[in-house]
């Protein structure tokens, strides 16, 4: 597989004044593979310490003297070379969270050694840590599942990715290419971006096998929950996780998960799932100025799952025969897809945060996503098909006086100047950029041209 994250990690490894790296991401999103591939590609000797599988190795890291730690590693491990030629990988650090505080000493006293720390439940540790984190002496790196373009490249369709990177809004995409890309989008909706599922899809293109891998992964998540019984009953965490697919696209309501369970219990379970990065919150905001997060409506939010393939496997836990998904008929799935790919447009050092806008009352209205591009706020309307009403978007644009909006849908790219008369007789005019799902990852570049 070709992953953009590997390029970013290579840049980190080769930059001057490099800091120890803390790699964050949902379980089995490819963190361990990336670090191993990084060491291989850059000809570094990998020293991999797994604190969960090898708990006895924790004793090597009790001191704050990193020179002593390195001496211990030299003594125990087979022939490590000089630190400058090595990559120290501290995996499953949730089993020894205090190691994170020691990263500052690696940065200050042994900077020639590249250090990466990771763990499947690392965010639990970072949320509850009782030690002093080395602020300014570590760098965070956020890993998401494979994007649609990474999926295309893995599926031997890199020419399509090259074509999309060169595409412009002035040149129409031939229908044959558009239909081919939309078929791949629908395959991505079933397979998702979890590396093992993508790998097996490449081998035999079996939806049934992919579903089995997803079910195994969901079981692994639930086994993780059982490790933290003092926090909350694992069955509550499982219940909330499995409820997400039927609540996609809706304002999240605790009672819709289970009306017989206290809302606070559901809220606590949801928070833990967010810490595990299994689910992500889409926060409602006023959306009248930047930064977007400055005016949240904390009571209103939506939830998406970390991966669209997992959504499908929760919805179809025992499929007899899965067929390619018809995205045009599934608005909730389209919203999950867009949210997942919008998260991929953040920089790797940014923890992705998504927003939306809604108005409740006599005239309900909702904008699926709201993004910030430089100093501009831009609403994003998601349509599963190639047509659909834009009533909420018209009213939002009238209320805010914005001049640019985005529609993500199944149709072909276009720029449309709109002038609409609302039900109250007032008019609104703005420019609408419409792009298909397969161009979401090019949105920053397309927006630059569109806004000019």
User: Residue 388: its pLDDT value, please?
Assistant: 82
Within 8 A by CB and 6+ apart from 268, the residues are: 231, 232, 236
Residue 230 predicted with pLDDT over 70 = no
The CATH T-level fold of domain 4-143 is: Rossmann fold (3.40.50)
Q: How confident is the model at residue 226 (pLDDT cuts 50, 70, 90)?
A: confident
Query: How much is the pLDDT for 279?
Result: 96
Q: Note the pLDDT of residue 364.
A: 83
Give me 209's structure tokens: 């096998």
Position with higher pLDDT, 448 vs 355: 355
Q: What percent of the chain has a predicted confidence (pLDDT) above 70?
A: 95
Q: What is the pLDDT of residue 322?
A: 53
pLDDT in tens, 30-66: 999 999 999 999 999 999 999 999 999 999 999 999 9
pLDDT of residue 195: 97
Q: What is the pLDDT of residues 249-275, one digit of tens each?
A: 999 999 999 999 999 999 999 998 998
The pTM of the whole model exceeds 0.85:
yes
| Distance from the Cα of residue 117 to its chain's centroid | 19
Q: How confident is the model at residue 329 (pLDDT cuts 50, 70, 90)?
A: low
| In contact, 426 and 398? CB cutoff 8 Å | yes
- Mean pLDDT of the 205-231 span: 84
Please, where in the chain does CATH 3.40.50.300 lie?
Answer: 4-143
pLDDT bin (cut points 50, 70, 90) of residue 360 is confident
Cα gap 383→396, rounded to integer Å = 16
CA-based torsion, 270, 272, 274, 278: positive or negative: negative
Distance in angstroms (rounded) separating the CA atoms of residues 403 and 228? 49
The length of the chain is: 452
Contact assessment for residue 252 and residue 245, using Cβ atoms and an 8 Å cutoff: no
Q: Which of 330, 331, 343 is nearest to 282 (CA)?
A: 343
- Find, among 279, 270, 278, the residue nearest to 237 by Cα: 270
| Mean pLDDT score, 100-105 | 92
Lowest mean pLDDT among 80-84, 163-167, 191-195, 353-357: 80-84
Query: What per-residue confidence (pLDDT) applies to 328?
Result: 58
More confident residue, 326 or 12: 12
């Amino acid at each position: 597989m070709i992953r953009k994250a590997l390029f970013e990690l290579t840049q980190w490894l080769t930059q001057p004044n490099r800091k120890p790296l803390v790699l964050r991401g949902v379980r089995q999103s490819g963190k361990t593979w990336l670090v191993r591939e990084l060491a291989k590609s850059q000809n570094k000797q990998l020293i991999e310490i797994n604190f969960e599988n090898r708990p006895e190795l924790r004793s090597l890291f009790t001191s704050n003297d990193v020179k002593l730690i390195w001496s211990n590693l030299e003594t125990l491990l087979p022939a490590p070379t000089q630190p400058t030629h090595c990559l120290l990988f501290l995996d499953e650090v949730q089993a020894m969270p205090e190691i994170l505080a020691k990263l500052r000493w690696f940065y200050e006293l042994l900077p020639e050694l590249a250090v990466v720390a990771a763990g499947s439940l690392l965010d639990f540790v970072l949320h509850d840590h009782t030690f002093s984190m080395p602020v300014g002496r570590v760098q965070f790196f956020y890993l998401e599942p494979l994007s649609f373009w990474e999926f295309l490249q893995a599926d031997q369709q890199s020419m399509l990715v090259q074509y999309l990177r060169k595409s412009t809004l002035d040149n129409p995409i031939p229908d044959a290419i558009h239909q081919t890309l939309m078929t791949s989008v629908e395959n991505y909706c079933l397979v998702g971006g979890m590396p093992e599922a993508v790998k097996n899809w490449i081998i035999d293109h079996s939806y049934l096998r992919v579903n089995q891998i997803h079910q195994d992964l969901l079981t692994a998540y639930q086994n993780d929950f059982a490790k933290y019984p003092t926090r909350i009953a694992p069955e509550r965490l499982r219940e909330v996780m499995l409820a997400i697919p039927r609540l996609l696209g809706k304002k999240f309501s605790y009672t819709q998960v289970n009306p017989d369970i206290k809302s606070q219990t559901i809220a606590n379970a949801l928070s833990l799932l967010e810490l595990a990065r299994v689910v992500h919150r889409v926060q409602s905001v006023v959306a009248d100025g930047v930064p977007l997060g400055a005016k949240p409506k904390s009571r209103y939010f939506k939830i998406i799952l970390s991966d669209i393939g997992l959504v499908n496997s929760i919805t179809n836990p025992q499929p007899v025969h899965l067929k390619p998904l018809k995205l045009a008929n599934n608005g909730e799935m389209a919203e999950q897809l867009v949210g997942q790919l919008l998260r991929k447009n953040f920089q790797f050092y940014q923890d992705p945060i998504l927003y939306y806008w809604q108005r409740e009352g006599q005239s309900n209205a909702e904008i699926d996503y709201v993004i910030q591009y430089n100093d501009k706020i831009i609403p994003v309307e998601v349509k599963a098909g190639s047509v659909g009403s834009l009533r909420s978007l018209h009213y939002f644009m009238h209320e805010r006086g914005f001049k640019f909006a985005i529609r993500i849908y199944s149709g072909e790219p276009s720029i449309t100047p709109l002038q609409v008369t609302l039900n109250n007789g007032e008019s609104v005019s703005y420019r609408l950029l419409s792009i298909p799902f397969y161009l979401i990852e090019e949105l920053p570049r397309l927006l630059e041209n569109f806004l000019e």
